[in-house]
Each structure stands twice: as C-alpha cells, then as structure tokens.
A = this chain, B = another copy of it.
C-alpha cells in the first residue's frame, strides 16, 4: 500500500524526467515537485509551511502596500544575460521599484507544458531563486498548473510582487510637469536586441546581452540623493521601448516632451544591429533601465547619483518636458530637424518578456 508521505516515494528525476499532467493534478506528484524542486530552491519558512497562502509580517507603520503582477512568456527561454527565471524576478521587482517601493515578497505561478524537460525547469527555478536572493526578496508562495502538449509553450511564469512604499514617495505617470528633465539610466534596446538575435540566430561581431537587472537599489540611491518630491516619474521602458514609455507618460500627464536624439545612449552593437535589421532602438524593450522625470533643480544630483551606481554608468539627461496639450513626444534629430516619436505600432518583437 502506498503511503501519504512524499519521503517514502522515489524522488523525481530532475535530470532526465519530463513534466507530465500529474504534476499539476493536486496529488502526490505535485506535492513532490513542490517539495523537491520549488521549496528547496526558494528555501524560506513561508513556503516550508506548505499552506495555500503565505502569512507575512505587517509593514512598518506609515508604509503603504504596493502590488504588481507580470506574466512572462519570453521566447527563447534562455538568452545572453538571463533567462525566463531571472527575468520574471527582475520584471516584477522593477514594477515595484518604479513606484518608489522597496520590494519585499514575490508569489510565483507556473504554467507548464506537458513534456517540458524537468532539467530546464530546475535550471529556471534555480535562476529565479538566485535572482530573488540577490535582490533580497523571498518567493513566499506559488502555484503550478500543467497543460497538455501543444496547449502551451514550455513554461510561462507569472510573478506578483509586494512592496512597501515609504512615506513621502509618490512617483506616478501623471506627475510630469513642463520644465522637468528626462533622464535614462543607460543604453537602450539591449534586451530586445539580445532576444531578437538569439531567436533569429543572428551572429554579431560582439555578443549583445540582455540588460535584465533589478532596479530597486538604483531607485533607493536616487531617493537618497534628493528630496523625494523632486522625483516625479519613474518607469522601466520594457515592451514598446522608450518611445512607448514616453508617449504613455505624456498622455497620462497631459504634457509634451522634447528629446535630443544625440543624447540617447545606445551601444554601438545595438545601433549597428538595428541599422542592419531596420529597427529603431527606441522601440526595443529594456529590462534593467530606468526613465526618470524630475524637477529641474534635482537634475544634476540625480544624474550624478545614477552615474555613480553600477547600473547607471551610462546615464544621460535626454530631454525635457514641455507644454503640449496634445501630448506629442518630439525628437530633435542629429541633423537639426524634428520628428514625432510615436508609440510602437504593430509588433516587431512578440514575446520579448
């Protein structure tokens, strides 16, 4: 007779095994997968309790709660500079960070396709755990579902983050004001081009790596460098790139923007790959870059603080917010003309994150 204790069963073969439907069925196979893979990798007391949800400590008095969620469907799953695991941690941490919040906890939900190699799953889960640990964030609860072969694509991961917002911080897309400076924390387009190159098996002279990184420490550095009220907008320009992010903020705030093309940092490798492929780096996704819109008096100190941080070495002030009820974002081109920087239209790169 079988026993209800997973310890008596043969361990799951994480080297050669594959996901089967039983791993999502709520029975013993699922309990084993949780114990032998997820709980071991994410090792913390919340998960170890084995309940349906995690009970977390109260926040510090005066701090507000911040909640963000992101599904990750990136293809391919592994790429230079990261994988779907690290990306799913960084992406959601960054959504918290751009609200000014300190990220605290993550919930992770997995949708696995029948037949997916357990070795790849283990590699992805390890990568998540490493990224979360590096960021000081615990993966405290989770869920796993399995869909039949051909009804998914290997693995999708939704991460949901909880953060704490210290009093006095209130950045938001609707807070850009005419006269504000627009800063970016580094080169643009690296993540999008890394995915595209990997997907299309393009070989460039120098490898293009995703910039995937957790931005919360950079955000803390910025708040330490100025009065919190000077930081009007923080955003990470992911899908749709800088172009869509700036248009979104302009629409939310009811302002225009004037950006100097020459001042936008783009790495030579991404620039030449874009020219080759007819893409605009301003439409490409980033996963470790910050757009900051701030009061003019704080520009110099914030730019200096960015540049002194490991993730902001190539930070630049790229333009300013102006009065424009139509919400146009204009680019002052290197040749002295002006062109509209529009939202990304259509879909140059599906499943970029």
Contact = CB atoms under 8 A, between A and B. Distances in A.
A22 B346 contact: yes
Contacts of A185: none
Nearest to A23: B347
A39 to B, nearest CB: 13
Given A152-B152, A153-B152, A347 B25 contact: yes
Interface in A74-130: 94-96, 98-99, 101, 105, 107-111
Interface in A34-69: 49-59, 61-69
Contact of A49 (B109, B172, B328): B172
A168 interface: no
A329 to B, nearest CB: 7
A51 B173 contact: yes
B21 A350 contact: yes
Contacts of A21: 347, 350
Pick the most buried of A26, A64, A96: most chain B CB atoms within 10 A of its CB. A26
A171 to B, nearest CB: 8
A199 interface: no
Interface stretch (A142-150, A220-228, A270-278, A308-316): A142-150
A2 interface: yes
Contacts of A54: 66-68
Interface residues of A, number: 105
Interface in A1-31: 1-6, 20-22, 24-31
Contacts of A163: 53
A140 interface: yes
A326 interface: yes
Given A1-B340, A56-B64, A64-B58, A26 B71 contact: no
A216 interface: no
A293 interface: no
Nearest to A140: B67
Interface stretch (A206-214, A248-256, A259-267, A298-306): A248-256
Given A4-B251, A68-B52, A142-B69, A244 B27 contact: yes
A111 to B, nearest CB: 5
A141 B59 contact: no
A61 B148 CA distance: 45
A148 B5 contact: no
Interface string A326-353: 1111000000000010111111011101
Q: Which 4 A-B pairs have the closest CB atoms?
A: A26-B239, A26-B240, A53-B68, A27-B344
